[in-house]
Structure 1
Amino acid sequence: MSAAAVGRYAPSPSGRMHLGNLCCCLLAWLSAKSKGGRVVLRIEDLDAQRCPRSFADLLESDLAWLGLSADEGGSRGGPAGPYYQSERSEIYLRYYQILARRGLVYPCFCSRSQLHAADAPHRADGQVVYAGTCRGLSPGEIAARRKTRAPAWRVRVPDEEIAFTDGHMGLYRENLARDCGDFYLRRADGVFAYQLAVVVDDALMGVTEVVRGADLLSSTPRQLWLYRELGLPAPQFFHMPLLLAPDGRRLSKRDGDESLEHLQQRYTPEQIIGRLAYVCGLQKAPDPRTPAELADRFAWELVPQTDIVLPEGLF
């Protein structure tokens, strides 16, 4: 076992956590602790209006109640702080400028409707692949468009295949130009994009493994490319299956799918953890457990690779 393992949980505090969020946090915590490592809590509140500090404070309280407190980060702080993305803009700017000085960043004036036009290229999963509409604008064209619209900023990606072996899902590969396209680094209002922020944060916070949902698997090649271009060390990735409602829907904060607020009224922390461990294959029955009791028995080989549909009546 390696005591140097550093995992992280990086929630967006836009509301109370639901079962899918809790499951991701549990697996991230167990994966790091099973290796004798530690866990960092980073608050991904880039959109500060949507993610008030009160939600972040409540999230920390919820994690402590469940026995999933982090070793550093959040309000506790630590050597790599600040741990709130809303307070790290100057750090992101330094790395953004590295790419800009190399001529890899350009302004994009496309509206949402233009990006989602019927003839826009799409991936197999429905995501839009940017067609490069603004990639070749002349200085004169850029100046003219700036008069009516503030641009967002994209990074030029090469026609290159990026392949990696996920610690849980196995080999994944993607051609950046064909399957991803030039992606956002900064919004028109100046807020830095997730793709840049998460790469910079994980590297500077010493994260060695990232556990997150399988819906983010396709974002990993572009992030690995950013790690390389910025000269930053990349972590190992573990993408976990998504937790689905009994009717097969994706769980959502907006829909209030079994939020922790409701779960706390019916279950103890040990009952919630035990039931999540059960659906993740870590135990054969939904018996109550603490996270510490599960750490020694954790193995990624036990966790399903396909989406997990919650059994009716389990929660």
Structure 2
Amino acid sequence: MSEDNPKNFYRGRLAPTPSGYLHEGHAHTFSKAWKRARECNGTLVFRMDDLDQSRCKEEFAQACIEDLKGLGIEWGEGPDLPGEYGPYMQSQCADFYYDALVQLWRKGLVYACDKSRKEIRDVGLLNESNAEFLYPEEFRSNEEQDFSKNPSKKVNWRFRTQWGEKISFQDNRLGWLEFEVGKDFSDFLVWRKDGFSSFELATVVDDQRMKISEVVRGEDLLVSSARQCLIFDAMGWDRPKFFHCELFLDAAGKKLSKSKRCLARLFTTP
């Protein structure tokens, strides 16, 4: 997308995860994505991020579609409106994600990880916001990789970051943002030993193949966006633009829950 003329080529997306019901925060973010696409005379893509089949349910997926349509949100491509950039469900895209893993692996940018979450927590290395534990540099694998065969799908694979590296990007709401490896995050999972891609890798691959020009999401995913920028750069792909929406919190100042279906009453109550 041209920064001088954002109406030149705009493709946005809705990417709900059907692991629970949508709430007011989702409604705010998805409404903003819809409005941004309309303002730019662009295309809005609906993608079902149902990557984790152990958590995702058809009941939630159907409720998600019904609730978004009830809010008047429309899209031009999706599972119900096939286009040239499908599939539009992550559960059908495993081969795309594995191909990206292989490319990163052949560049020496990922390594096998056998450390448990408990081992990582026990080191006690927290990031600046105390929101997550950093993966210690001393845990990295330095074994030579055998490029005669493709990487195993039954192993955890981590992206090899450079401590001290700064990742910056322009957010279309928050302005210029900068994150630092070793302070905000460190080596992160791109593939899980249960045979599935991580959220970060799958999201980057789908946004690239669907030619998404701007990602509208909640500001709780700012660090995730920085991680994704590293993957975009490593793959030699152009980054999309970003627009991080303000979070909706409950009375206690916590993120809203997906456990109760609350959006339906927004458009069914007289």
CA shift for structure 1 position 62: 2.0
Matching of residues 76-91 of structure 1 within 5 Å = 76-91=81-96
Partner of 2:168: helix, strand, or coil?
strand
2:160 corresponds to: 156
TM-score, structure 2 normalization: 0.88
Q: Is the 8 A contact 1:60 1:69 kept in 2?
A: no
Runs of 4 or more above 4 Å deviation = none
- The percentage of aligned residue pairs carrying the same residue is 36
CA shift for structure 1 position 34: 0.9
Deviations 1:128-160 (A, max 9, x none): 111134313547xxxxxxxxxx64110101232
Q: Is the 8 A contact 2:19 2:55 kept in 1?
A: yes
1:206 corresponds to: 211
Gaps of 5+ in 1: 140-149, 268-315
Q: Is the 8 A contact 2:71 2:267 kept in 1?
A: no
Alpha carbons of structure 1 residues 155 and 106: separation in structure 2 relative to 1, 3 Å: same
Partner of 1:4: helix, strand, or coil?
coil
Counterpart check, 1:63 vs 2:62? no
Measure the CA separation in 1 of the matches of 2:48 and 2:180: 31
TM-score, structure 1 normalization: 0.76
Counterpart check, 1:217 vs 2:222? yes
Deviates most, 6-15 or 238-247: 238-247
2:269 to 266, 271, 288: 266
Alpha carbons of structure 1 residues 98 and 70: separation in structure 2 relative to 1, 3 Å: same
RMSD of aligned residue pairs (Cα, Å): 2.0
Measure the CA separation in 2 of the matches of 1:118 and 1:106: 20
2:113 to 108, 113, 121: 108
Q: Is the 8 A contact 1:176 1:221 kept in 2?
A: no
Work out the number of aligned pairs and report it: 256
Alpha carbons of structure 1 residues 118 and 29: separation in structure 2 relative to 1, 3 Å: same
Deviates most, 258-267 or 70-79: 258-267
Counterpart check, 1:12 vs 2:20? no
Deviations 1:81-126 (A, max 9, x none): 0010111010111111111011221111111211222623333242
Partner of 2:125: helix, strand, or coil?
coil
Which of structures 1 and 2 has the bigger CA Rg?
Answer: 1
Structure with greater helix share of residues: 1
1:33 corresponds to: 38
